Amino acid sequence: MAGHARTFILMAAMTALLMGLGWLLGGQGGAIVALVVAGAGNLWAWWNSDKAVLRQQGAVELTGAQGGELVALVAELARNANLPMPRVYLLPTEQPNAFATGRNPQNAAVAVTQGLLRILTRDELAGVIAHELAHIRNRDTLTMTVTATMAGAIAMLGNMALFSGGARDRGGALGGILAVILAPLAASLVQMAISRTREYEADRAGAAICGQPLALARALAKIAAAAGRTVNVPAERNPASAAMFIINPLGALRMDRMFSTHPPTQDRIDRLAALARA
């Protein structure tokens, strides 16, 4: 409940930032237009983001005959989570990683890489899949789609504010400069904070779904160690998709915590170990 409350507060802050920029550009009408435009963008993303990211990553859908044990494992864990069976995809990259996508549990997909299947045991793989199913059950894919769209809208409005006469009238020249610099930065920080919160929640719920918190902890340690040594080319070409993966797939893994889309892996492992003890 605390994680959901924090997500709500952060999304409310991003909405306020969006409307504030709209007001700076066009007064009360501008604030309303900014909210409507962001809503339209969210509606488009709600229907199309899953297809886009799967296409970007070169995902190949697996049937029961092709997927064998992997598809059977996903089906078993989906029953544990009381979810419909998601579509299962294989990503043709040697970097061990995974993500979930889809606008709701009835239209969801779980994607894992070739490298993930190569290095994890069955129990560890179950932990990763359970984590992704937790994202689906919590509708985190929708949450992240909404925040990504709003962050993009804020960045666009910030650029417009720099050259807007209305922005200068309401906020002065300094206000316009601060809008173009600070508003997109603040939106990115909020987006990253939401992503980190949802990862902690998915770890906790995923451990309950698979029943083995330490298996998920071992999987995270293995993935984090290998991800930094293997380039995920599709993810590097589309860095906006990084927040979807269970571990940051990009090469620049050693970044400041404030600017990371994922919590520190050791923090996640420590929380899972505490959950196992409890």
Which residues are identified as catalytic? 132
Nearest-5° angle of CA 173, CA 174, CA 179?
100
> Strands 108-113 and 98-102, how do they pair?
antiparallel
Nearest to 56 by CA among 236, 224, 225: 236
Helix (H, G, I), strand (E, B) or coil at 228: coil
Q: CB burial class (10 A; 0-12, 13-18, 19+) of residue 39?
A: middle
* b (16+ CB within 10 A) / e for 190-208: bbbbbbbbbbbbbbbbbbe
User: Is there a contact between 157 and 166 (Cβ–Cβ < 8 Å)?
Assistant: no
- Distance from the Cα of residue 187 to its chain's centroid: 15
Q: CB burial class (10 A; 0-12, 13-18, 19+) of residue 2?
A: exposed
H/E stretch holding 224 reads helix 213-227
Q: Which residues pair with 60 in a beta bridge?
A: 90
User: Is there a contact between 230 and 166 (Cβ–Cβ < 8 Å)?
Assistant: no
**Radius of gyration in angstroms for the set of CA atoms belonging to the chain, rounded to a whole number:** 20
